């Protein structure tokens, strides 16, 4: 099973530090083991050269009538190996054991290994089945034979293995200690970066889309000589630019809201005067030409439409300015019943259905504005769906929320229009005539009214199903 690589910068730095140390320890361990082995092998070769091959030379004269025909083991280290080769055949082999010689029975493989040793007086390693690995040297004898002398490699291998075991324990402890200390050191070193991350996350969580935004202060102690300090300095500059841009945008929005409020307020009087004069002219009892009467009716209709537009703009300006709404108990069930009756009268070709709880549902808010929001949703469903469409109004209450849903089985809202459906002056058909009376502010008023009540307005739509959902605090 593969372990996933660390994803955090702290984990990567710690893992890299431990890995580099492990590679260094491995290199040191291999180098010291090879150096020690080479040193001990050199000492062993020196011992072979210093022995003078006396033990192997005594095997050469085993046939002479000396004391008891035993090889000369004087001054030979224990486990010293000796062998005599004549005409490529091993004639005798023995090993020093407790200051005596012990004849050896060699296998065919041992004999082949001994006959393959170069006669150069240098040390060579050979493995004998009954003794293990030996360091041997071969020299020419006096009787045209070959004399082989060897010392065991077991002490050398044991010393090297002991060094490797000690290095493994020491290096493992060093790696563990370095990993812990390195993790702490990296954590302390990256603490300023954590502050940068926290500040960036704080800014990302702010509602930057609209309204006045209080930006957090700059990061302190940003040392430009370090990489983390450079990141902090860049973040401070970016926060400064963002704060300046938000301040400019807020000022522009404030000016625009004041202009819309002032313009709407100033337009109400002349529009009312135009409407009044048109109505007065239409009440004239005397003969009025047909063309003039038609023009007066159009003036009256358009003045009524402009009155609605001015009222909507003024309402949005007041909501944007944070004007307080009324906070009284509101019977949502009654509001929905009244709004549905109005919608049924305005759109008799649609099928209107109600799904209301048995008990009345009451919230705290502005009854007139909530009535206007629900009425706008029903008017939107009536306007943008063909006759015969089913429109269902559902009211549900949860523990802390109240939900109002207006669903229809019409054609749905296009995908490109869906994200901005609650925007101002947004129309489903941008190219259609304004003769239908729509100002494109109905859903914007719904969103502004519900938001002012501490709720949310959302929409989900697809072919054959569109649902507007209002959520209000219970």
- pLDDT of 142 > 60? The answer is yes
What is the reported pLDDT for 432?
Answer: 42
pLDDT band at 110 (very low <50, low <70, confident <90, very high): confident
Q: Do 210 and 320 meet the contact criterion of CB atoms below 8 Å apart? A: no
Those residues whose C-beta lies under 8 Å from the C-beta of residue 358, and which sit 6 or more positions away, are none
Instruction: Name the more confident of 207 and 147.
Output: 147
Q: Which class in CATH covers the domain with range 212-323?
A: mainly alpha
pLDDT band at 226 (very low <50, low <70, confident <90, very high): confident
Angle, helix 191-204 to helix 227-282, in steps of 10 degrees: 10
By 3-state DSSP, what share of the chain in percent is helix, strand and coil, each rounded to 5?
50, 20, 30
Every domain of the chain with CATH number 1.10.287.130 lies at 212-323
Q: Do 337 and 287 meet the contact criterion of CB atoms below 8 Å apart? A: no
Using CA atoms, how far residue 247 sits from 60, 214, 243, 316, in Å, is 108, 10, 6, 21
DSSP 316-380: HHHHHTTPPPP-EEEEHHHHHHHHHHHHHHH-TTSEEEEE--SS--EEEE-HHHHHHHHHHHHHH
How far apart (Å, rounded) are the C-alpha atoms in residues 411 and 384? 9
pLDDT in tens, 197-221: 777 777 777 777 666 667 777 777 6
Tokens found for residue 204: 């990302």
How far apart (Å, rounded) are the C-alpha atoms in residues 264 and 255? 14
Those residues whose C-beta lies under 8 Å from the C-beta of residue 356, and which sit 6 or more positions away, are 333, 336, 337, 393, 394, 395
- CATH number for 328-473 (one of 3.40.50.800, 3.30.565.10, 1.10.3210.10, 3.40.50.150): it is 3.30.565.10
What is the reported pLDDT for 219?
Answer: 73
Instruction: Name the more confident of 441 and 135.
Output: 135
- Average model confidence (pLDDT) for the chain? 81
Asked if the 12-159 domain carries CATH number 3.30.450, the reply is yes
Every domain of the chain with CATH number 3.30.450 lies at 12-159
Percent of the chain with pLDDT strictly greater than 90: 17
- pLDDT of 261 > 70? The answer is no
Every domain of the chain with CATH number 3.30.565.10 lies at 328-473
Those residues whose C-beta lies under 8 Å from the C-beta of residue 461, and which sit 6 or more positions away, are 412, 413, 418, 467
What is the reported pLDDT for 260?
Answer: 66
Tokens found for residue 40: 């001990």
User: Alpha helices, DSSP H only, in 190-331?
Assistant: 191-204, 227-282, 290-320
For residue 103, the SS3 value is strand
pLDDT band at 75 (very low <50, low <70, confident <90, very high): low
What is the reported pLDDT for 434?
Answer: 47
Q: Which of 2-6, 180-184, 394-398 has the lowest mean pLDDT?
A: 2-6
Q: Do 204 and 235 meet the contact criterion of CB atoms below 8 Å apart? A: no
- pLDDT of 89 > 60? The answer is yes
Q: Do 464 and 386 meet the contact criterion of CB atoms below 8 Å apart? A: no
For residue 207, the SS3 value is coil
How far apart (Å, rounded) are the C-alpha atoms in residues 195 and 211? 27
* Size of the chain, expressed as the number of residues it contains: 474
What is the reported pLDDT for 406?
Answer: 93
Q: Which of 289-298, 347-356, 455-464 has the lowest mean pLDDT?
A: 289-298
pLDDT band at 77 (very low <50, low <70, confident <90, very high): confident
Phi, psi of 242 (to 5 degrees): -65, -45
What is the reported pLDDT for 104?
Answer: 78
């Amino acid at each position: 099973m593969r372990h996933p690589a660390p994803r955090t910068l702290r984990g990567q730095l710690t893992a890299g530090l431990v890995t580099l140390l492990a590679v260094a320890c491995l290199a040191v361990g291999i180098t010291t083991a090879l150096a020690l082995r080479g040193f001990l092998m050199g000492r062993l070769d020196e011992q072979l050269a210093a022995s003078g091959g006396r033990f192997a030379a005594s095997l050469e004269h085993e046939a002479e009538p000396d004391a008891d025909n035993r090889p000369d083991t004087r001054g030979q280290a224990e486990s010293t190996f000796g062998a005599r080769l004549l005409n490529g055949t091993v004639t005798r082999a023995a090993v020093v054991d407790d200051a005596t010689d012990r004849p050896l029975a060699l296998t065919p493989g041992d004999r082949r290994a001994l006959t393959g040793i170069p006669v150069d007086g240098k040390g060579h390693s050979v493995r004998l089945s009954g003794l293990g690995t030996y360091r041997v040297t071969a020299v020419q004898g006096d009787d045209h034979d070959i004399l082989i002398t060897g010392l065991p490699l077991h002490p050398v291998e044991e010393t090297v293995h002991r060094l490797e075991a000690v290095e493994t324990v020491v290096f493992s402890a060093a790696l563990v200690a370095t990993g812990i200390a390195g993790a702490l050191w990296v954590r302390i070193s990256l603490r300023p970066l954590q502050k940068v991350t926290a500040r960036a996350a704080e800014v990302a969580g702010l509602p930057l889309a609209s309204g006045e935004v209080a930006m957090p202060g700059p990061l302190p102690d940003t040392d430009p000589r370090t990489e983390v300090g450079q990141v902090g300095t860049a973040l401070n500059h970016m926060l400064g630019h963002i704060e300046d841009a938000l301040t400019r945008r807020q000022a522009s929005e404030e000016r625009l809201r004041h202009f819309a409020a002032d313009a709407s307020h100033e337009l109400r009087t002349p529009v009312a005067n135009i409407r009044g004069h048109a109505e007065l002219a239409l009440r004239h009892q005397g003969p009025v030409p047909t063309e003039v009467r038609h023009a007066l009716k159009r003036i009256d209709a358009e003045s009524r439409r402009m009155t609605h537009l001015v009222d909507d703009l003024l309402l949005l300006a007041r909501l944007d300015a944070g004007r307080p709404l009324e906070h009284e108990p509101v019977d949502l069930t009654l509001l929905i019943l009244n709004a549905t009756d109005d919608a049924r009268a305005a759109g008799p070709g649609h099928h209107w259905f109600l799904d209301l709880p048995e008990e009345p549902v009451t919230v705290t808010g502005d009854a007139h504005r909530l009535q206007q929001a629900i009425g706008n949703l029903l008017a939107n469903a009536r306007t943008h769906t063909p006759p015969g469409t089913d429109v269902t109004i559902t009211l549900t209450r949860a523990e802390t929320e109240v939900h109002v849903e207006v669903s229809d089985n019409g054609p749905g809202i296009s995908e490109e229009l869906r994200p901005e459906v609650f925007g101002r002056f947004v129309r489903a058909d941008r190219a259609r005539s304004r003769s239908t009376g729509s100002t494109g502010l109905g859903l914007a008023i719904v969103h502004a009214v519900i938001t002012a009540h501490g709720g949310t307005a959302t929409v989900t739509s697809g072919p054959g199903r569109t649902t507007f959902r209002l959520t209000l605090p219970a």
